[in-house]
Structure 1
């Protein structure tokens, strides 16, 4: 049953996940408080034009978060990981955990009726195997939410399809990651996480207390490159970045790639489709939005740099 209080606070509203959640909430008739550190930024102004109430708040500042969450029914929480666009160069996993804890504390202090937190698939395997540091950070936030006794839903998506739309993976005319050519990687579109989040707020009796992993497709990087090339009408080879080269930059990133190659997320795609039957596979995502995003990046990239 949809709550009578129709106000939801969205942390990180100008980011990828927060933006998708805000879009689906507004479309569903919710009153959205979109939190951002810069209400005058381009993305914040676009959210205001779409109908959101843009509110200044920072995840470093619990008081600002608590004030923003006052009298709201729901709160959506997501934190950037190390290396995410817009984070300071010295941003660490400890910063990520602190921010997630701050949001949870604010939700608790404000008495929100439903917190939805996006973690990452595999975080719950922390106690049974060595997992990448970013998964450990998400697990620590999950555990703090549990200790507070918050009425919460934990969503654990796998790698986002949107990771293939920029310099993270498109380099020098090829698709390049640390994943082995024959290793299948599970994928999820950010927009579908937004859809599922709105559904969770709309049906709290079905969602509070649940923790679910989300994946909608599974492809090797060679298959991903071929699908992108077909959508763009051009050849896009796949070139694996040697793990040793990644390790020279970051031991944590190197281990994350090794973990994906050897163990992976192992989310239940069929279960995700039972939750959201229309969740996009990779080809559908390319057709709807992905190919246009990738094409825009490739045409904007310097001819001598990434995406040449």
Structure 2
């Protein structure tokens, strides 16, 4: 049964996940309080134009989040990880955990009826095996939510297809990551996380108390490069970055790539499709939005290179 109080607070509303969640909530008839540190920013104003109530709040300021959550029934929580766009150069995993804990405390103090937190697939394996630091940080936030006894849903998506739309993976006319060419990586479209989040808020009796890993496709980086190349009508070779080169920049990032190469997320794709049968595979995502995003990035990069 959909709650009668249809106000949901979206923390991190101007980020990739926050924007997707906000769009799906608004389509579902929810009233959305979109929290951001800069209500006058481009993304914040775009959310206001489609019907969200933009509210100034900062995850490092628990009181501001608590005030913004007062009277709301639901709250969506996502935190950036180290290196995420928009984070300060000195942002650490401890900052991420502190922000996630602050949001959980604010949800508790405001009496929120349903918290949906997006973690990451594999975080629950932290007690049994060594996992990358970004999984440990999400697990620590999950554990604090459990400690508070919040009525919560934990969503654990795998890597996002949107990671292939910018400089994170597209460099000098190649697809470039730290994964071995024959290592299959599980991926998912951010928009489908937004869909499932709205579904969870709409059916709290089915979702409160659940922790669910989410994945919609599984491809090697060579297959990803071939699919992008076919969609754009170009040749896009795959180039693996040597792990030692990554290690020279960051031991944590090097281990994360080693973990993906050797262990991986292990989410149940079939289970995700039972929840959301229309979840996009990579080809569908490219056809709908991905190819256009990649084309814009590659064209802007080419233009910038010519200008230099």
**1:286 aligned partner:** 286
Q: In 2, Cα distance between the equivalents of 1:223 and 1:301?
A: 23
Instruction: Tell me the matched-pair count.
Output: 307
Spell out, residue by residue over 1:228-264, the C-alpha distance to the aligned partner (whole angstroms, 9 max, x if none): 0000000000000000000000000000000000000
Spell out, residue by residue over 1:198-245, the C-alpha distance to the aligned partner (whole angstroms, 9 max, x if none): 000000000000000000000000000000000000000000000000
Q: For residues 268-279 of structure 1, what are the structure 2 equivalents within 5 Å?
A: 268-279=268-279
Q: In 2, Cα distance between the equivalents of 1:305 and 1:112?
A: 49
How far the C-alpha of 1:303 sits from its partner, in A, is 5.5
**2:191 aligned partner:** 191
- Which residues of structure 2 form unaligned runs of 5+? none
Q: In 1, Cα distance between the equivalents of 2:141 and 2:173?
A: 38
Q: For residues 222-261 of structure 1, what are the structure 2 equivalents within 5 Å?
A: 222-261=222-261
How far the C-alpha of 1:305 sits from its partner, in A, is 5.6
Q: In 1, Cα distance between the equivalents of 2:239 and 2:111?
A: 50
Q: Per the alignment, in what secondary structure is the counterpart of residue 301 of structure 1? A: helix
Q: For residues 1-308 of structure 1, what are the structure 2 equivalents within 5 Å?
A: 1-302=1-302
Residues 44 and 304 of structure 1: CA distance in aligned 2, closer, same or farther (over 3 Å)? closer
Cα pair 1:34 1:54 within 8 Å, conserved: yes
- Which residues of structure 1 form unaligned runs of 5+? none
Spell out, residue by residue over 1:30-61, the C-alpha distance to the aligned partner (whole angstroms, 9 max, x if none): 00000000000011001000000000000010
Root mean square deviation, CA, Å: 1.2
Cα pair 1:172 1:305 within 8 Å, conserved: no
TM norm structure 2: 0.98
Q: In 1, Cα distance between the equivalents of 2:137 and 2:6?
A: 31
How far the C-alpha of 1:71 sits from its partner, in A, is 0.4
Q: Per the alignment, in what secondary structure is the counterpart of residue 248 of structure 1? A: helix
